[in-house]
Amino acid sequence: MNKNIGSKNHIALFDKCISEFNEGRGSIIAISGEEGYGKTFLLNSFAERANETMPSAKIIIEKNVSPIGSFNIGNIQPLLPFMRVIEKILLGETYDKTSAMAKFMKSAGLTFLASVPVIDTLFYAVKEFGRDWRQYQKDKSSEKRGKSAGSTTKDFFDTFSSLAEKKQLIIMLDDFHWSDAQSVELLDMFAEDIASIPILLVIAFRKSIVESQASPLISFIHSKVDKGQNIFGIQLKEFTKSEINQIIGRNFANYTTNDTFEDWIYNNSFGVPGVVSEYLHYFKENSPFKNDGSLSENFFNSDYLPATIHSAFSKTIEKLSDEDKNILSICASEGKECTAIVVSNLLSTDVLTTIKKLRSLQQKSSIIRSIGAHNRYGVKTTIYEFSQAFYKKYFESLLEYEEYVALHGQISAFLKTKYNEAESEATKHEIAPYLTAHSLESGDEETAKSMLLVSAQAAQKFGNAAIVRNVYDRFTELGVITNDDDNPDAMAIQEIMKNLEIADGKHLTLENGTNIEGIGLSGSGTVAYQDFITVRKIIVEYYHKNKFDEAVEYALNYLNKNESELRSSEVAQLLALIVKSYIESGQTELAENYSDRALSLIESHNDPIAECFVMNALAVLRYQQGRKDDMLAYLKKAAQKAIALSPELRLLTLSNIALLTEESEPSKARRYYESVRRLASQLNYEQFSGQVLG
């Protein structure tokens, strides 16, 4: 099919943006079109055009995650499309070692480059890199541009700005109507002064979704597109009869104009490009023409002519075996994109055999296609996608109700295993939305609620209040009375919302009029299983309010109820908090009892994270008991473990070393205090640094 049919004006606009881009001026192009109107096709055409005219540019196409069932994955994953773009930009990137930028990268961004393949450090790396860029070239930073976005969004903005200075970036984001509010906020930051930013952004979206679901993108479309400098809109339309004539000519050799055939195509497709394409695919397999090029006499025979696009497609897939159809239905249960690792699990076969089957399906039909290996669910796996949303819906509809529920239950069980095995919070945050969606489709609302809390925790980390409110709304839909202080799920979501708003200097009132300031700390009683991170935050809140007895009671209730479901590192954190709370309340004998339990835990589990937490807690206890040699021994062990662990654990350990050695070795303590200051600044924990350093 000729790529220019119906898109000549769009290509001309893109060429204009490329011309300005070569002169250092950026642009944003917003492509609007409904399902089947060719948004993805146009993005690929733009990418090919850019590759022809700017072969040295870094061209990236990223697709947002489509909903699974009724659950929109994309709008509870903060900055996901831009996060994936950053990974693609930097993985495999080679920098000129002699350039000034290379020197900057070496001094300020080396941690960032080294950390990209590790998903749990990418968020912190962006924050570090963004701050370094603001110091390196302040006139290009978000601070100088007067942006009012959240700090995380600013960090992403500055990271992209810095990368664009080194490499020409052309970024295309498909299905942007599924994006989260923070991604739209970042897009707004670029739009504010895009002509002075050396980056070319193209987004594609469905206007009907944006308007019907109150997408955060709606404000950007109405206020920015075709209203600001270098921000352009493209509205994809149906093919005209003339364009259909051209398309048919490209698909059938020696075609001569046939008004009857063209009228039939136009009247039955309404000119929708995807439908036209599917009909022509059918007719290429079932030719309507005689050898002389005239239309066959039986063209209007009902046994030959498809009544609808669905029947045309049905005739096409009749050539597929029952096994092929079953595999495609299984693929559809995972979503518009499916992974080799999940499909192999559902087929109860190894990954290599699964890939062979999927590759065979790709070769014999255009229904699915491989998009290569990507990080998903905390592992790298080959991903396949349905080439049209219609195909995914069709094969999903072949499943009986029991099959549908069972498949989602199997996927949910697989993801739950991956979630429990994950060592990093970020990997858990990545898995949680998928696990939520499949749990809802399988009828497991309890797992869905606990995973929603994990997603809310991730949103809190990114400063994304919109996602937290989405989770709050979901809890309401699931029947959770969100102002019920006796409901642990309600208490947890209230606590997350309160902490997020307090961090922004606000006091949040929910839609039902309930002010949540102070809610969630009334705390005793039985605590049901809920998001561990939220529980830990509640316990720490008690601790910082000097409510040490409440902290212990809350931790013990949760631990006694859920210890069998927790990882050893999570149990260790709870025991460490209990030990520290007993120390602060002067109950060192009880602290000693739980320190023995903690030591027993790390002896029976080879878990460096657990060991680091326990050693830190024991060092504090030995300091209080005046056993300085034992204290130093535990600090040394904690430091040895912390070297290979997350920066947060290094910060915890360094802080304890500084505080606990200040009296006996003040010069050594000063060096550690300085290390604490630097690491806290890198992690954006200035408040923590102030508390430790006084």
pLDDT confidence of residue 355:
94
462-497 per-position pLDDT tens digit = 777 777 777 877 777 777 765 556 667 667 777 776
The percent helix, strand, coil of the chain (3-state, each to 5) is 65, 10, 30
CATH of domain 8-235: 3.40.50.300
Instruction: Give the number of other CB atoms < 10 A from CB of residue 36.
Output: 21
Full-model pTM: 0.64
Would you list the DSSP string of 376-421?
ETTEEEEEEEESSHHHHHHHHHTS-HHHHHHHHHHHHHHHHHHHHH
CA 3 from chain centre, in angstroms, equals: 32
pLDDT confidence of residue 1:
41
Instruction: Please give the single-letter amino acid code of residue 300.
Output: F
- Residue 27, Ramachandran bin (φ over 0: left; ψ between -120 and 50: alpha; else beta): beta
CA distance 406 to 414: 12
Closest CA to 462 of 68, 72, 122: 122
Do residues 635 and 660 touch, judged by C-beta distance below 8 A? yes
In the sheet that 337-339 helps form, which strands lie side by side, from edge to edge?
Answer: 337-339, 379-386, 368-376
Instruction: Please give the single-letter amino acid code of residue 240.
Output: T
141-193 per-position pLDDT tens digit = 565 555 555 567 888 888 888 888 878 899 999 999 998 888 999 999 999 88
CA distance 365 to 648: 50
* Arithmetic mean of pLDDT over the chain: 78
CA distance 214 to 197: 29
> Domain residue spans in the chain?
8-235, 241-317, 536-693
Q: Which two tokens stand for residue 95?
A: 């920098």
215-267 per-position pLDDT tens digit = 778 888 888 898 878 999 999 988 888 898 888 888 888 888 888 888 888 88
Whether 516 has a pLDDT exceeding 90, the answer reads no
Please state which architecture CATH assigns to domain 536-693: Alpha Horseshoe (1.25)
Residue appearing with tokens 């034992």 = 630
